[in-house]
Amino acid sequence: MVQISRMDDALIEVPRGLTNVAVVDTAISDVHGREGYYQYREHSATALARGATLEQVWFLFLHGRLPTADEEAAFVAELAALRAEVDVEALVEQLAGGSARLDAVHALKAAWPLVASGRGMRPVYDLDEQERRRDALLLTAMVPGFLATLSRRQRRLPPLASPKDHGTVAGYLTQVTGAEPTPEAEHALTAYLIAVMDHGLNASTFTARVITSTGADVASALTGALGSLSGPLHGGAPSRVLDSLDQIPSPEAIEPWISAELAAGRRLMGFGHAVYRTADPRSQLLRAEAQALGGPRVDLALRFEATAERLLEAAKPGRGLHANVEFYASIVMERVGIARELFTPTFALARAIGWSAHILEQAADSKIFRPAARYIGPPVSDD
């Protein structure tokens, strides 16, 4: 806990990292870390992940309620029309040029401002509610096609359009893998994308809201949020879980490997969470999806999780270090055919929907974020 001096010289106490400090009101989502659940609007987030479509939850985020069947069909058609407005092949070529490898997160961070500039998108401060919604929806809707086109280009595969009768998830999987997804694969990826669409005021969502509070354009807020997400302590860790599993040749090697990592003081990627002190409900959800997909990697992951949690409790009793969402997210994405370099971008695909909802909610409030800082430097010198 630190003391921070405000402009009126009053003192307030603020924990390191702003842990548990409420800095904004929202009707979008809430996380209950002690109880081990979280919600989107008035719905259980994990229940939605198990049974809703991505478009239904996307609509919920934007409109505050689930759509009727007709509204969902109209929303799907609106998304398709907006995607058609962005020539992602030309955009990828403009960004990649002659480069054989271009990191997808960096590419998306560059793509959003380019699209916004080309379309003359203005600051949210100067837009009405419908104009803000359109900008947010177009920039979010373009993400799956952009990521898939970039991935196929890097693998020297021809462009592959998403079938018009596919939803967002099936279309993305078809483009990325080059094959029609099985119902199990589509369900598993849908569950993952919905589960990570939003999660309270995490670092990237806070970044999006701070930028929006200045009245900046939607692309600036999304780009800043993505920069925050790319950090390994936030959204950049799913592929690192597989890097760990790659080092384990057999189930018998799990315990010695984990013990050595803990003895060396290294962090186990995919374990522990800043909010949850009980099991991460997203991890439980995705564990079930992974088990439904099956395979040797899933069996290894299940044994790894059980062993890791036992050894972590012995090494750090009472800390409540359980598998987090990134652990089984990596397994699910690998099993449905998503390349490892697309793990964090795919996370961003989902989280951009949540960011957009927060951007629109924040844009309705004209108050800029202006916190104080605690000065710890030397006093003014009279010399």
More confident residue, 68 or 374: 68
In a domain, 382, yes or no: no
Structure tokens at 92: 């990828």
Q: What's the average model confidence in pLDDT over 47-66?
A: 98
CATH of the domain at 300: 1.10.230.10
DSSP-assigned beta bridge partners for residue 2: 14
In a domain, 133, yes or no: yes
CATH of the domain at 57: 1.10.580.10
Residues 216, 217, 221, 227: what is their CA dihedral angle, to the nearest 10 degrees? -110
Q: What is the pLDDT of residue 36?
A: 84
Q: Are residues 116 and 222 in the same domain?
A: yes
Q: Are residues 58 and 197 in the same domain?
A: yes
**pLDDT > 70 fraction of the chain, expressed in percent and rounded:** 93
Q: Are residues 94 and 221 in the same domain?
A: yes
For residues 75 and 57, what is the distance between their CA atoms, to the nearest angstrom? 11
More confident residue, 151 or 236: 151
Q: Are residues 195 and 326 in the same domain?
A: no
Q: Using one digit for the tens of pLDDT, what is the confidence trace for 224-240?
A: 999 999 887 777 666 78
Q: Are residues 67 and 198 in the same domain?
A: yes
Q: Are residues 69 and 101 in the same domain?
A: yes
DSSP-assigned letters across all residues of 75-89: HHHHHHHHHHTS-HH
- Measured N-to-C along each axis, helices 54-63 and 168-177 cross at an angle, to the nearest 10 degrees, of 130
Lowest mean pLDDT among 34-43, 236-245, 366-375: 236-245
The CA-atom distances, in angstroms, between 34 and each of 52, 91, 275 are 26, 44, 8
Q: What is the pLDDT of residue 5?
A: 47
State the burial class of residue 261 (Cβ atoms within 10 Å of its Cβ: 0-12, 13-18, 19+): middle
DSSP-assigned letters across all residues of 186-225: HHHHHHHHHHTS--SS-HHHHHHHHHHHTT--HHHHHHHH
Tally Cβ neighbours within 10 Å of residue 102: 16
The CA-atom distances, in angstroms, between 212 and each of 117, 148, 348 are 17, 28, 18
pLDDT at 8 over 60: no
pLDDT classification of 11: cutoffs 50, 70, 90: low
How many domains does the chain contain in total? Answer: 2
In a domain, 8, yes or no: no
Q: What's the average model confidence in pLDDT over 14-42?
A: 87
Give yes or no: 326 in active site. yes
pLDDT at 2 over 70: no
Q: Are residues 89 and 194 in the same domain?
A: yes
For residues 348 and 361, what is the distance between their CA atoms, to the nearest angstrom? 19
- Are 178 and 342 in contact by the 8 Å Cβ rule? The answer is no
Q: Using one digit for the tens of pLDDT, what is the confidence trace for 294-310?
A: 999 999 999 999 999 99
pLDDT classification of 215: cutoffs 50, 70, 90: very high
Q: Are residues 90 and 225 in the same domain?
A: yes
Q: What's the average model confidence in pLDDT over 350-365?
A: 97
In a domain, 245, yes or no: yes
pTM for this prediction = 0.91
**3-state class (DSSP) for residue 251:** helix
Closest residue by Cα to residue 213 from 41, 371, 369, 74: 369
pLDDT at 63 over 70: yes
* Domain region containing 99: 53-232+343-363
In a domain, 267, yes or no: yes
Annotated catalytic residue: which of 186, 305, 326, 334? 326
Annotated catalytic residue: which of 273, 289, 322, 358? 273
In a domain, 380, yes or no: no
Q: Are residues 202 and 264 in the same domain?
A: no
Q: Are residues 264 and 193 in the same domain?
A: no
Closest residue by Cα to residue 170 from 67, 80, 255: 80
Give yes or no: 89 in active site. no
DSSP-assigned beta bridge partners for residue 363: none
In a domain, 160, yes or no: yes
- E strands in the chain: 2-5, 11-14, 29-32, 37-40, 43-44
Structure tokens at 213: 């509070």
Q: Using one digit for the tens of pLDDT, what is the confidence trace for 310-351?
A: 999 898 887 878 888 888 999 999 999 999 999 999 999 999
Q: Are residues 73 and 111 in the same domain?
A: yes
Dmax over CA atoms of the chain, in Å, equals: 75
Q: Using one digit for the tens of pLDDT, what is the confidence trace for 96-115?
A: 876 667 899 999 999 999 99
Lowest mean pLDDT among 56-65, 74-83, 232-241, 278-287: 232-241
Count the alpha carbons within 13 Å of 140 in the hemisphere toward its beta carbon: 33
pLDDT classification of 217: cutoffs 50, 70, 90: very high
Q: Are residues 279 and 327 in the same domain?
A: yes
In a domain, 111, yes or no: yes
